[in-house]
Amino acid sequence: MFGPGIRYLARRALVLGIFVAFGITIIRQLAAVFNIAVPTWILACVSTAGVPLYTALRANLRQLHNRREAAKLGARDGLRDVFDEVGPVVNVRPLWADIVVTICPEHIKLILSTDFNNYVKGQEFQYGMSSVLGTGVFNSDGEMWKFHRSLSRPYFSRDRISHFDTFDRHADQVISLIKQRMKTGHAIDFQDLIGRFTMDSATEFLFGSCVNSLHAGIPFPHNAALPLSESGPAKGQVATAFAAAFNESMLHVANRARFGWAWPLLEMWTDKTTAPMRIVSAYIDPIIRDAVEKKKLAKSLALDTEMTDIKFEEGTTLLDELLNVTSDPKVLKDETYGFLSGKDTTQWTITVIMYFLAMYPQFLTRLREEILQHVGPTRRPTYDDIRDMKFLRAVINETMRLYPSVCSLTLKCRQCINATTWPSPDPDDERPIYIPAGVQTPYSVFMMQRRKDLWGPDAEEFDPDRWLDERLKKYLLTNSFQFLPFNAGPRICLGQQFAYNEMSFVIIRLLQSFASVSLDLGAFPPGARPPVEWATQAEGRKAVDKFHPKMHLTMYSQSGMWLKMTEAENA
């Protein structure tokens, strides 16, 4: 009935009430001493103004305490080096929340792996996400997280050949859509197209029911003069509505994470995720209900007839697999919907791979050679083919190094439970860094994966060979925690192998069919190109990259990735 903001304020009303009452009493006393009459509403306003003062005071007292504790341990106060320090550990304090940002592999290793139990996603994070992701594996800590992780892990620990059938069917559709579009002479928004591929594939292996977004019509460039019959995505289609609702739900969740504890104040009267989640539920709930019913029926049939040897179809979807262990619709939904976010991460990586291949045709040529040599021009790739293709893997790794899908600091973040210290990243000051209890510790994989001291002077260059030549030993093998597109430790991405398979499969299929790829800059709407001042940078990716990267939960290119491709002769 009320929005999250009202609920938030109501919870804090008590504290506020005490504060205001206290303030009023003091001012009344003073007013009595000086014999002036002050209306109550003015008193209330003045007292309320004390709240931010109080918050600031408390934050400062906490800082004093932290400094003392740090000194006791012979450590530096990680929170003191304020804001614009350029070093690898930066402290920011938006809205008086304590945050220590790091880009050091040693610290990230502690957070994700060696000191895993001392870091949680935290309640604040979970509260903002819960109206979309419930309490699924992404959005829980402790025992709840272990429970969810154990539910889904078996599904991903097996190689499922059936996934390849799914990928193949949808890859065929992708290829024929590109061919059709190229015949019109217009570019195609590859980001959107491949998002439909990952959406259709994901809904199929998660629920066994494909949303068919590849059938829903694909957008034309902003500058294309179109016949009336061709107007892009059809409004009102289930697939279009579902994809838009999915995007919107994730966008709000990302926004909430960005505003930390203050987000409910931006959603005073309505929960912004309610409307998109209604559309999502309209699609998913019936599928889950049906699956639960079917399972029940199957069970009762087996009991009635005492045919204990009845074999039910081996679960090939995640939903089937989860039904083995639970029939709670909420658990089933939280779990499966969360997994759908794997669709965005894969979409982004495949999109940037094709972008890099368009930018650097020499690598496209080499990758095609590897594909033709291992798989040939038409055969469908197998798992073994994919495993053996070193250059393909190097291209994928190099892409995820420069443009990791998940790089939002609000997502790549943990909360420290007990106060601790981190090793100093600064050779001139070996005192460790003090990390107070309760502090948020986001880590920037994006920046870490571009550090010149970790990757060499050419860190900002796209060069897949760094994964194959002597640079591998020199840089990466010395510290595996400097490359973390999938995170690491007990919460490492469950879909890592699945994603490598999916991305490899579709790239192979595309390069079997198309011999060259190019960017069509004219098809990018003017407002969506990178800021002009980027081009004047002396070095770095900003100086060369042609799209404008943006971020919600995952990275994406504003207004798409418009490509043209030419068909291979023998495909």
For position 553 contacting ligand HEM by CB under 6 A, the verdict is no
Q: How far is the CB of 330 from ligand HEM (least distance, A)?
A: 17
User: Do the beta carbons of residue 89 and residue 102 sit within 8 Å?
Assistant: yes
Q: Which of 55, 117, 478, 570 binds ligand NAG (CB under 6 A)?
A: 117
**Antiparallel, parallel or unpaired: β 76-77 and 99-102:** unpaired
For position 354 contacting ligand NAG by CB under 6 A, the verdict is no
Region from 6-14, 63-71, 190-198, 505-513 binding ligand NAG, contact rule CB under 6 A: 190-198
Q: Which of 491, 509, 552, 564 binds ligand HEM (CB under 6 A)?
A: 491
Q: How far is the CB of 43 from ligand HEM (least distance, A)?
A: 46
Q: From the list ligand HEM, ligand NAG, none, pick the one residue 493 interacts with, judged by a Cβ distance below 5 to 8 Å according to partner type.
A: ligand HEM
Q: Which residues contact residue 167 at a Cβ distance below 8 angstroms, ignoring those fewer than 6 apart?
A: 201, 501, 502, 505, 506
User: d(Cα 526, Cα 529) in Å, to the nearest integer?
Assistant: 6
Q: From the list ligand HEM, ligand NAG, none, pick the one residue 499 interacts with, judged by a Cβ distance below 5 to 8 Å according to partner type.
A: ligand HEM
User: Do the beta carbons of residue 420 and residue 391 sit within 8 Å?
Assistant: no
Region from 227-235, 387-395, 484-492, 517-525 binding ligand HEM, contact rule CB under 6 A: 484-492
User: d(Cα 494, Cα 152) in Å, to the nearest integer?
Assistant: 8
User: What six digits make up the tokens of 111?
Assistant: 């957070």
User: What six digits make up the tokens of 136?
Assistant: 């699924």
User: d(Cα 312, Cα 48) in Å, to the nearest integer?
Assistant: 64
User: d(Cα 480, Cα 235) in Å, to the nearest integer?
Assistant: 46
For position 418 contacting ligand NAG by CB under 6 A, the verdict is yes
Q: Which residues contact residue 353 at a Cβ distance below 8 angstroms, ignoring those fewer than 6 apart?
A: 395, 396, 399, 503, 507
Q: Which one-letter amino acid corresponds to residue 154?
A: P
Three-state secondary structure call for residue 153: helix
Residue with the shortest CB distance to ligand NAG: 467
Measured CA distances, 496 to 153, 342, 345, 407 (Å):
12, 10, 11, 16
For position 467 contacting ligand NAG by CB under 6 A, the verdict is yes
DSSP assignment string, 435-474: E-TT-EEEB-HHHHTT-HHHH-TTTTS--GGGGTSHHHHH
Interface residues for ligand NAG in 35-64 (CB under 6 A)? Answer: none
User: Nearest to residue 555, comparing CAs of 419, 418, 357, 409?
Assistant: 409
User: Do the beta carbons of residue 200 and residue 211 sit within 8 Å?
Assistant: yes
Instruction: Please state the residue numbers annotated as binding site for heme.
Output: 493
Residue 271 CB neighbours (<10 A):
16
Region from 37-45, 178-186, 234-242, 344-352 binding ligand HEM, contact rule CB under 6 A: 344-352
Q: Which one-letter amino acid corresponds to residue 435?
A: I
Residue among 20 and 352 whose Cβ is closer to ligand NAG: 352
Residue among 66 and 487 whose Cβ is closer to ligand HEM: 487
Q: From the list ligand HEM, ligand NAG, none, pick the one residue 195 interacts with, judged by a Cβ distance below 5 to 8 Å according to partner type.
A: ligand NAG
Region from 15-23, 236-244, 372-380, 408-416 binding ligand NAG, contact rule CB under 6 A: 236-244
Residue among 220 and 500 whose Cβ is closer to ligand HEM: 500
For position 494 contacting ligand HEM by CB under 6 A, the verdict is yes
Residue among 47 and 501 whose Cβ is closer to ligand HEM: 501
For position 247 contacting ligand NAG by CB under 6 A, the verdict is yes
Burial level of 137, CB count in 10 A (0-12/13-18/19+)?
buried
User: H or E stretch including 411?
Assistant: none
User: Do the beta carbons of residue 515 and residue 568 sit within 8 Å?
Assistant: yes
Q: How far is the CB of 244 from ligand NAG (least distance, A)?
A: 4
User: d(Cα 235, Cα 237) in Å, to the nearest integer?
Assistant: 6
User: H or E stretch including 549?
Assistant: strand 549-551
Interface residues for ligand HEM in 77-136 (CB under 6 A)? Answer: none
Region from 41-49, 79-87, 135-143, 242-250 binding ligand NAG, contact rule CB under 6 A: 242-250
**Antiparallel, parallel or unpaired: β 99-102 and 413-416:** unpaired
Q: Which of 495, 512, 560, 563 binds ligand HEM (CB under 6 A)?
A: 495
With tokens 């059809």, the residue in question is 234
For position 485 contacting ligand HEM by CB under 6 A, the verdict is yes
Instruction: Please state the residue numbers annotated as binding site.
Output: 493
Region from 34-42, 91-99, 274-282, 489-497 binding ligand HEM, contact rule CB under 6 A: 489-497
For position 149 contacting ligand HEM by CB under 6 A, the verdict is yes
For position 309 contacting ligand NAG by CB under 6 A, the verdict is no
User: What six digits make up the tokens of 398?
Assistant: 């190099």
**Antiparallel, parallel or unpaired: β 89-92 and 549-551:** unpaired
Instruction: List the x/- string, 236-275, binding to ligand HEM by CB under 6 A.
Output: ----------------------------------------
For position 171 contacting ligand HEM by CB under 6 A, the verdict is no
Count residues binding ligand HEM (CB under 6 A).
Answer: 20
For position 314 contacting ligand NAG by CB under 6 A, the verdict is yes
Q: Which of 212, 405, 408, 440 binds ligand HEM (CB under 6 A)?
A: 405
Instruction: List the x/- string, 363-402, binding to ligand NAG by CB under 6 A.
Output: ---------------------------x--xx--x-----
Q: From the list ligand HEM, ligand NAG, none, pick the one residue 491 interacts with, judged by a Cβ distance below 5 to 8 Å according to partner type.
A: ligand HEM
**Antiparallel, parallel or unpaired: β 555-557 and 549-551:** antiparallel
Burial level of 280, CB count in 10 A (0-12/13-18/19+)?
buried
Q: From the list ligand NAG, ligand HEM, none, pick the one residue 377 interacts with, judged by a Cβ distance below 5 to 8 Å according to partner type.
A: none
- Give, as one character, the DSSP assignment of residue 42: H
- Note the residues at the interface with ligand HEM (CB under 6 A): 137-138, 149, 339, 342, 345-346, 349, 405-406, 411, 485-487, 491, 493-495, 498-499
- Note the residues at the interface with ligand NAG (CB under 6 A): 117-118, 154, 191-192, 195, 240, 243-244, 247, 312, 314-315, 321, 324, 344, 390, 393-394, 397, 417-418, 467, 483, 556
